């Protein structure tokens, strides 16, 4: 943050210029930033939030993001967990709507197989390579 | 002979990575996350009136036997003002456009409609993005085409431009 250094002229300009990704004038949803009274439920909600990707900022989980939509999603998750829904069912509800993109823990499917299998294959290939080298040296 | 073929393997790997990099540079950049809910029935909702001039909007309004456009917008969304003339053109062509105002206040929305025109038959107020999330929507503006049975047929992410108007009209006619 270097805004204190900005020339005096830029400050009024920055105030009238509305950013493209403008946020609304409404306050955050009721449970966006309020922990649930039941600590076990809050723990479940928090754990799920860190696994759900923010759809606006695209590099943060909704637990970290300040965007309106992330706040609304946090509130929705807390409301549903308070109502007794399981974190897995909420996560599935979101995946049905936003696709695997929305979770940092994508379920195994034909589309995500590479994601899970390539590291495993690389480790196996590396192991074979090392074994070959050692064998050759011994021969 | 096979040994010589193996020598080409690192080069092939390099060419693959290079190809991916060039593709990344050339392909048009898109951060859109399309809704996976297209093809599904409109979620059930009943939203109160968002403006002083139009009634609220409920999913029951969508099964009245004709296709609808549902536009998610907001007074604080600058691109939404840019697509207002296109929405007016659609209503002039006989299309019914219903609105969902996202996280909006009545005063702000009334001023927005005053400034940009009001193409909406109904406008529901979604103050916590609940309907937006149920639709798999990621922001404003977005437009959904709903068929006469209440099934979502199409999601348009972002501003509607001039050339989207005849395309949408044709698609809605095809649904009749």
What ipTM was predicted for this assembly?
Answer: 0.86
Report how many domains make up chain B.
1
Q: Among all chains, which residue has been given the structure tokens 């299309």?
A: B95
What is the pLDDT at residue B6? 85
Residue B27 forms part of a structural domain? no
> Do the chains contact at B138 and A72, CB–CB below 8 Å?
no
Mean pLDDT of A102-117: 86
Residue B14 forms part of a structural domain? no
DSSP characters for A24-60? Answer: PSSPPPTTSS---SSHHHHHHHHHHHTTBBPTTTSSS
Domain range summary for chain A, segments of one domain joined by +: 28-107, 108-139
Mean pLDDT of B46-63: 94
Residue B37 forms part of a structural domain? no
Residue B112 forms part of a structural domain? yes
Contact A98, B36 (CB under 8 A): yes
Residue B114 forms part of a structural domain? yes
Q: Is A116 on the interface with B (CB under 8 A)?
A: no
Contact B62, B68 (CB under 8 A): yes
| Stated length of chain A | 139
What is the pLDDT at residue B126? 96
Query: Which 8-state DSSP code applies to residue A139?
Result: -
What is the pLDDT at residue A21? 52
Cis peptide before B141 (omega within 30 of 0): yes
> Do the chains contact at B35 and A29, CB–CB below 8 Å?
no
Over pLDDT 90: what percentage of chain B? 82
Residues from chain B that touch A25, judged by Cβ atoms under 8 A, are: 76, 103, 105, 108
Closest in B74, B134, B138 to A55, CB measured? B138
Closest in A20, A69, A96 to B129, CB measured? A69
Mean pLDDT of A95-116: 88
State the Cα angle at B124 between A49 and B120, rounded to 5°: 130
A10-19, A70-79, B125-134, B153-162: which range is least confident on average? A10-19
Contact B116, B90 (CB under 8 A): no
A17-26, A41-50, A117-126, B34-43: which range is least confident on average? A17-26
Give the contacts of A132 (CB within 8 A, at least 6 positions apart).
Answer: none
Higher pLDDT residue, A25 or A40?
Answer: A40
User: What phi and psi, each to the nearest 5 degrees, are found at residue A36?
Assistant: -70, 145
3-state SS record for B72-107:
EECCCCHHHHHHHHHHHHHHHCCCCEEEEEECCCHH
The pLDDT-based confidence of A122 (bands split at 50, 70, 90) is: very high
The pLDDT-based confidence of A116 (bands split at 50, 70, 90) is: confident
Residue A6 in this model has a pLDDT that exceeds 90:
no
Q: What is the pLDDT of residues B136-153, one digit of tens each?
A: 999 999 999 999 999 999
**Domain holding B139: CATH number?**
3.40.30.10
> Do the chains contact at A101 and B102, CB–CB below 8 Å?
no
d(CA B103, CA B70): 16
Residue B11 forms part of a structural domain? no
Give the contacts of B161 (CB within 8 A, at least 6 positions apart).
Answer: B83, B86
Mean pLDDT of A115-124: 92
Containing structural domain, residue B166: 46-175
Q: What is the pLDDT of residues B149-164, one digit of tens each?
A: 999 999 999 999 999 9
- Give the residue on B whose Cα is nearest the Cα of A26: B103
Residue B17 forms part of a structural domain? no
Residue B6 forms part of a structural domain? no
Give the contacts of B167 (CB within 8 A, at least 6 positions apart).
Answer: none
Give the contacts of B148 (CB within 8 A, at least 6 positions apart).
Answer: B63, B64, B65, B66, B67, B175, B176
For the record, the structure tokens of B142 come out as 């977005």
Instruction: Report the CATH fold assignment for A28-107.
Output: Helicase, Ruva Protein; domain 3 (1.10.8)
Q: Is B19 on the interface with A (CB under 8 A)?
A: no
């Amino acid at each position: 943050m270097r805004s204190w250094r900005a020339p005096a002229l830029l400050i009024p300009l920055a105030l009238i210029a509305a950013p493209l990704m403008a946020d609304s004038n409404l306050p955050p949803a009721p449970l966006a930033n309020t922990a649930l009274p039941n600590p076990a439920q809050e723990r479940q909600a928090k754990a799920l939030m860190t696994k759900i990707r923010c759809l606006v900022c695209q590099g943060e989980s909704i637990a970290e993001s300040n965007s309106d939509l992330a706040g609304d999603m946090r509130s929705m998750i807390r409301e549903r967990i308070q109502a007794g829904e399981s974190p897995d069912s909420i996560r599935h509800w979101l995946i049905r709507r936003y696709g695997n993109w929305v979770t940092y823990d994508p379920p195994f499917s034909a589309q995500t197989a590479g994601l899970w299998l390539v590291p495993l294959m690389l480790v196996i290939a590396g192991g074979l390579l090392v074994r070959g080298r050692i064998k050759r040296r011994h021969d | 002979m096979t040994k010589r073929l193996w020598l080409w393997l690192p080069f092939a790997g390099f060419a693959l990575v290079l190809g991916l990099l060039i593709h990344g540079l050339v392909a048009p950049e898109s951060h859109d996350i399309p809704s996976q809910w297209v093809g599904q029935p409109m979620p059930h909702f009943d939203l109160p009136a968002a403006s002083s001039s139009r009634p609220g909007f409920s999913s029951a309004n969508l099964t009245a036997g004709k296709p609808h456009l549902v536009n998610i917008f907001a007074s604080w969304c600058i691109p939404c003002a840019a697509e207002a003339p296109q929405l007016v053109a659609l209503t002039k062509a006989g299309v019914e456009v219903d609105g969902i105002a996202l996280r909006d206040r009545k005063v702000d929305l009334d001023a927005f409609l005053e400034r940009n025109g009001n193409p909406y038959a109904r406008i529901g107020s979604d103050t916590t993005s609940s309907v937006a999330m149920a639709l798999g929507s990621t922001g404003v503006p977005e437009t959904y085409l709903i068929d006469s049975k209440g099934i979502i047929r199409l999601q348009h992410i972002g501003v509607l431009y001039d050339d989207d108007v005849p395309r949408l009209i044709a698609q809605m006619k095809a649904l009749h």
